[in-house]
Amino acid sequence: MRKTMLKSFAILFSFSVLLLAGCSKSASDTPATTANLSVLNLSPDAGGLDFFVGGLRVVTNLTYPQYTGYTQFLAGSLGINVAPNNTTTNLIGGTLNMNSGSYASFFIVDSLSKIKAKPIFDDLKAPSTDSVKIRFFHFSPNLASVDVSISGGATLFPGRKFSDQDSIPNLAAFSYLKAGSYTFQMKNTGGSTVLASISSLNFIGGKIYTLYAYGCVGGTGTQVLNLGSLLHN
């Protein structure tokens, strides 16, 4: 039997107990009184997960590596819990506090025995129409330090380590890149061997993206080491 684990969030957010809608929302149609949260399951061996807000199951059977998009809640403060599908056994639990009008991404990361939450605020102020905003997170539990670069071009994210935005908060900030089509490659820091890549991403001006490393070194099937991307707006 798996041992029940209760984790406290290192970062506090805020929600109200009232769920406004079960559908995803974009930044343009969010009333000022609401907060917005998305959830991404990047725990490679955790199986399907249920996500609870104020004791209400609002996401059911979120499997690896699924993403919910943003869901609106009334701003406030309440408990958040993550449990295996169709159970109420806490794998992750804590209190989230979020201001009205704000956005956050809730990443569920690491192997099941070490599962943890990485909630991160999202600055969704759109860039100009000729540019995009982009950031990168390292969420592969057994991967060493990596560099992420444009194929044949600049290294945008050098020397990134697992969940290093915890200790260096500015790594969670977005940077700017000219709009266009890009292929990104991930290599060990200072190395030349491509560990994973994501090809022909069409970055549209005015949009906001997150790249992330997920999966495992030596993984097979869905757990293979990979690069993923999210569109936030």
Q: Could you state, in chain order, the average pLDDT of each consecutive group of 10 residues for the chain (233 residues)?
A: 37 33 44 84 96 93 97 84 96 91 95 95 96 98 97 97 97 98 97 96 97 96 95 96
- Please give the CATH architecture assigned to the domain spanning 131-231: Sandwich (2.60)
Q: What is the pLDDT of residue 19?
A: 34
**Euclidean distance between CA atoms 71 and 19, whole angstroms:** 9
Looking at beta carbons, which pairs linking 47-51 to residues 24 or more positions away fall under 8 Å?
47/84, 47/85, 47/112, 48/84, 48/85, 49/82, 49/83, 49/84, 49/85, 49/91, 49/108, 50/82, 50/83, 50/84, 50/85, 50/86, 50/87, 51/80, 51/81, 51/82, 51/106
Domains 19-121 and 131-231 share a fold: yes
**The residue to which tokens 């199951």 are assigned:** 57
The pair of structure tokens assigned to 53 is 């807000």
Domain spans in the chain, listed from the N-terminal domain onward: 19-121, 131-231
Q: What is the pLDDT of residue 224?
A: 96
Q: Does domain 19-121 have CATH number 2.60.40?
A: yes
- The answer to whether 98 and 105 have CB atoms below 8 angstroms apart is no
Q: What is the pLDDT of residue 96?
A: 84
Q: What share of the chain is helix, strand, coil (3-state, %, to 5)?
A: 5, 50, 40
> How does DSSP classify residue 5?
-
**Euclidean distance between CA atoms 18 and 56, whole angstroms:** 9
